[in-house]
Copies of this chain bind each other. A is one copy, B any other.
């Protein structure tokens, strides 16, 4: 059984590798919704790890709403229709999330420039001086149709020019992956917004209604890396949450 965890230098914990792998297996419909998966003992043997590690991984997936662990009975795949719980708690790139939902993600760049940070950006990114930042305006597409408009400001003082150049037209998270410095945490706020200033193009919603996810991403050292405002077009993107006790 090969895991192919650790994508780069930084090695993910064993628990994380297994949790990721089982998550992928669930989303790949290896088990039907409601079906009982292998017992912890079996999984531990297959993955060649201890039961403790498997248990921790399964617990994570239970938190994420994918599994239901029943004492004395077994562990079952949760039934959530066609949609996948959005996982607001898990830090994933938009592209990854869209892909997991079964669509094909893409981006459409509208603005992509390096300029001085505004006052609000300085505050959010904890900059003392108005240094240079990378500013992006993009439409997020699923199967070619816009589902959100994203306004991102990225602190580039500690990034090489090559990486910055890459970000200007590709995925921000993927670029950060190449230097192994993807953010590991984000503090997000959710708001309902109505505004004529947001979005562009023919697929822009006529009622000006958006669900705004405003967040600051932090590096492993706790430094702010990116400040982004993502405006989800109401009705185009399903925010599904499985809540548990």
Contact A234 B191 (CB under 8 A): yes
Copies of this chain, tallied across the complex: 2
A164 to B227, CA, bound (A): 48
Find chain B residues with CB under 8 A from A242 CB. Answer: 89, 185-188
Please tell me if A239 contacts chain B, counting CB pairs below 8 Å.
yes
Please tell me if A104 contacts chain B, counting CB pairs below 8 Å.
no
Find chain B residues with CB under 8 A from A60 CB. Answer: 59, 63
Please tell me if A22 contacts chain B, counting CB pairs below 8 Å.
no
Contact B185 A243 (CB under 8 A): yes
Interface size class of chain A, counting residues whose CB lies under 8 Å from the partner chain: 35 or more
Q: Specify which of B187, B241, B245 is in contact with A80 (CB 8 Å cutoff).
A: B187
Find chain B residues with CB under 8 A from A189 CB. Answer: 238-241
Please tell me if A175 contacts chain B, counting CB pairs below 8 Å.
no
A91 to B245, CA, bound (A): 5
Q: Specify which of B59, B190, B215, B244 is in contact with A211 (CB 8 Å cutoff).
A: B190
Please tell me if A105 contacts chain B, counting CB pairs below 8 Å.
no
Q: Provide the A76-95 mask, 1 if CB < 8 A to any CB of B, else 0.
A: 00001000000011110000
- Contacting B at CB under 8 A, from A190-245, are 190-194, 207, 209-211, 215, 234-235, 238-245
Find chain B residues with CB under 8 A from A146 CB. Answer: none
Which residue of the partner chain B has the closest CB to A186?
A: B243
Q: Specify which of B89, B193, B207, B243 is in contact with A215 (CB 8 Å cutoff).
A: B243
Which residue of the partner chain B has the closest CB to A60?
A: B63
Find chain B residues with CB under 8 A from A234 CB. Answer: 191-193
Supposing A52-B52, A59-B59 touch, asked if A190 and B241 sit within 8 A by C-beta, the answer is yes
Find chain B residues with CB under 8 A from A192 CB. Answer: 192-194, 209-211, 234
Find chain B residues with CB under 8 A from A56 CB. Answer: 56, 59
Which residue of the partner chain B has the closest CB to A56?
A: B59
Q: Which residues of A contact B (CB under 8 A)?
A: 13, 52, 56, 59-60, 63, 65, 71, 80, 88-91, 182, 184-194, 207, 209-211, 215, 234-235, 238-245
Could you list 17 A-B pairs, sorted by A, with CB under 8 Å?
A56-B56, A56-B59, A88-B89, A89-B244, A90-B244, A186-B243, A187-B240, A188-B240, A189-B239, A189-B241, A190-B211, A191-B235, A192-B193, A192-B234, A193-B234, A194-B194, A194-B207
